Amino acid sequence: MLVTGGAGRLGRSVVDGLADAGHEVVSVDVTAAPLEKAAATFPADLTDLGQAYGVMARYRPDAVVHLAAIAVPFSRPESVIHATNTALAYNVLQAAVDSGVGTVVTASSPTVMGYGSPAGWAPRCLPLDEDHPARPWNAYGLSKLAAEQTMRMFAAQHGDRVRLAAFRPCFVIAPEEWAGAPTQQGHTVRERIADPRHGAVSLFNYVDARDCADFLDTLLGKAGEVPNGEVFFVGAQDALAEAPLAELLPEFSGVAPELAAGLTGTSPAFSTAKAERLLGWTASRSWRTELR
């Protein structure tokens, strides 16, 4: 199995989790950072289609999990984020399909929903599910929607000859971040919970990176049992907040109170019911048990 972006915040946990589940994992990244549980690490710039084909020819994986991307909105110029992420998705999927890989999963993002738009954003309903219309407002969200559409294009071209899927991991928290390491936004998890303004930008969503690995192991094992070309939200079963979202979303995210009213208790803004229905998967970790 090949994991692109295996040296990243999410990638490290995915490589470890899939290896622990019994997969022989090869990590491909622009950096050849050593990963203890990877069978091999290989440096490659996958924005180069030739290098993408070369990696597939070298390792001949039975499955590919594509995580490689510029992972933080506005961390680079918008044109660079769009060009890089769309090229990565196309090249990896094209090379994988042409090389006879049986299963390909690509990472998308909840940001395709378009929350946080400076022009205003109102959800059609809450919690958000995969049928909710996408309306990205920045290059990162647009590039992730393009990755989903690229996946669906190959599913339309090849049918069930290759199994394809995409997943939208919520705000990823790596294991070391529970212990106080900075999150991708620079503050700690504890600070994110204490100040709702931090979590409001993503509607208080989150997921433990190890739960993403568990999801991917489940999806890879059941890829032939679910419809081809599906997209899944992957998130925790609660919100990263101490107060109910029915109170926080109207105050900090501009969501109308009547739309947020159903998110009482610990309910999150994103539904993972589809993953539970089709795959039997739900996240097992919560900030209430992991934060220390």
* CATH number (domain holding residue 48): 3.40.50.720
- The reply to whether 251 falls in a domain is no
Mean pLDDT estimate for the chain: 97
Residues 239, 144 contacting (CB under 8 angstroms)? no
Residue 285: its pLDDT value, please? 98
Residues 197, 249 contacting (CB under 8 angstroms)? no
Can you tell me which residue has the tokens 């998308």? 108
- The reply to whether 280 falls in a domain is yes
pTM value > 0.85: yes
What average pLDDT does range 98-103 have in this prediction? 98
- Domain, as residue range, for 221: 2-172+206-236+269-285
3-class DSSP assignment, residue 89: helix
Can you tell me which residue has the tokens 């295996």? 6
**Dihedral of the CA atoms 24, 67, 85, 93 (nearest 10)?**
50
What average pLDDT does range 118-127 have in this prediction? 95
Residue 83 has pLDDT above 90, yes or no: yes
Q: Can you read off the two tokens belonging to residue 73?
A: 């909105």
Residue 60: its pLDDT value, please? 98
Residue 265 has pLDDT above 90, yes or no: yes
3-class DSSP assignment, residue 137: coil
- The reply to whether 197 falls in a domain is no
Cα–Cα distance for residue pair 98/270, rounded to 1 Å? 34
Cα–Cα distance for residue pair 102/64, rounded to 1 Å? 8
Residue 292 has pLDDT above 80, yes or no: no
- The reply to whether 252 falls in a domain is no
Alpha helices (H) in 61-208, listed in sequence order: 78-98, 139-158, 175-178, 189-194, 196-200
Q: Looking at the 3D structure of the chain, how many domains does it have? A: 1
> How crowded is residue 188: how many other Cβ atoms within 10 Å of its Cβ?
18
Residue 222 has pLDDT above 80, yes or no: yes
Cα–Cα distance for residue pair 269/262, rounded to 1 Å? 10
Residue 34: its pLDDT value, please? 87
Q: Indicate the pLDDT class of residue 31, thresholds 50, 70 and 90.
A: confident
Closest to 65 in 3D by CA, of 286, 290, 234, 269: 234
- The reply to whether 18 falls in a domain is yes
- The reply to whether 261 falls in a domain is no
Length of the chain: 292
Half-sphere exposure of 99 (CA within 13 A, CB side): 26
- The reply to whether 263 falls in a domain is no
- The reply to whether 186 falls in a domain is no
Residues 145, 169 contacting (CB under 8 angstroms)? no
Half-sphere exposure of 63 (CA within 13 A, CB side): 20
Residue 180 has pLDDT above 90, yes or no: yes
Residue 63 has pLDDT above 90, yes or no: yes
Residue 33: its pLDDT value, please? 83
